[in-house]
Amino acid sequence: MTGTQVGLDRPLDELEFVAFDTETTGLMPARERVVELSGVRFNFECELGQYESLVDPQTPIPPAASRVHKISDKDVHGQPRIEAVLPGFIELCSGAVALAHNAEFDVSFLAHEAARNGFDLPPMPVLDTVEIARSLRPDLPNHKLATVSSALGCDATTYHRALADSQTLMQSFIALVAGAPEVKTLRDLMRHTSGALSFGPDERLWMWLPPELAPLEEAMLGGGRVTLLYEPDGKRSETREVSPRGWMRRPGATFLVAHCERDHTDRNFRLDWITRAQYAQATLF
């Protein structure tokens, strides 16, 4: 399987897309697991293929997560593990542009699952349809999939199941583009996003994370502690020893969620205010 090479000036009606979705045991990709993965491949004329699988996460599904997606431990017992599911999903995506609603969440989970299991994800572009919907439909009260699909006449019979959400996303994306006649090429579409995320061994998560912050990812995967040089806007710089937990997005900023050793509690550290990060046992700065 090879990475996707897509010309930005190709008309959208010449491209193929994969709308995909994951269901998980929680919200933190560094420590939670995928329990369902699906994708729908399509062009602007028809649906071309599907992939869907429950996944045995090898850990109990918390009741709070089950209440959202209605997937229980019984449902995933005996189902394939993630390393057996990923190849079929990647095959579905080969040569296509992938789409996900709040793409950072799904890309992060699949990247962590792949890294944990020694699976190399080939590079391929992933666009966030939340960003596209927010840009093309600023009139909506919010840009949750249910809100966007309802406004576009693409109501689903259910939400928070991977295949149903993938199909709803496919229909909503087609309707969004149909309502924006100025969006003719992939380059036009990219203007309504902050850029493509990527699956791939070198860009598997938070592809804009600079090299000096790479220990944050490594500590999440390995459970280590890091020392941060933290420089809040307009305040004195300080060092903090933390145990990274995961990432959190808020409008206009990304935050590191980490246990702060000084304060003995979990705190949120704004990513663009973290200027250096090294393992705590190393000589820092």
Q: pLDDT per residue over 226-243, tens digit each?
A: 999 999 887 888 999 999
| pLDDT per position as a tens digit, 252-269 | 667 888 999 999 999 999
Domain ranges of the chain: 12-199, 211-279
Q: What is the mean pLDDT of residues 208-236?
A: 80
* SS3 of residue 183 by DSSP: coil
Give the Cα separation of 210 and 206 in Å (integer): 9
Confidence of residue 217 (pLDDT cuts 50, 70, 90): confident
Report whether pLDDT(212) > 90. Answer: no
Classify the C-alpha dihedral 70-76-81-84 as positive or negative: negative
> What pLDDT score was predicted for residue 206?
37
In angstroms, the Cα distances linking 152 to 34, 148, 156, 234 are 29, 6, 11, 44
The CATH H-level superfamily of 12-199 is Ribonuclease H-like superfamily/Ribonuclease H (3.30.420.10)
| pLDDT per position as a tens digit, 180-198 | 999 999 888 988 886 677 7
Maximum alpha-carbon separation in the chain: 58
Give the Cα separation of 55 and 59 in Å (integer): 11
| Domain 211-279 is found in CATH 2.30.30 | yes
The residue ranking higher by pLDDT, 29 or 220, is: 29
The residue ranking higher by pLDDT, 158 or 202, is: 158
> What pLDDT score was predicted for residue 210?
60
> What pLDDT score was predicted for residue 111?
87
The residue ranking higher by pLDDT, 29 or 253, is: 29
Phi-psi region of 183 (alpha: psi -120 to 50; beta: other; left: phi over 0): beta
Query: Which residue's structure tokens are 């999939």?
Result: 145
Count of Cβ atoms closer than 10 Å to residue 67 Cβ: 9
Q: What is the mean pLDDT of residues 31-50?
A: 96
Cβ atoms of residues 100 and 173 within 8 Å: no
Q: What is the mean pLDDT of residues 204-219?
A: 62
Report the candidate in 96, 268, 246, 149 with the shortest Cα–Cα distance to residue 157.
Answer: 149
Give the Cα separation of 91 and 277 in Å (integer): 36
> What pLDDT score was predicted for residue 253?
66
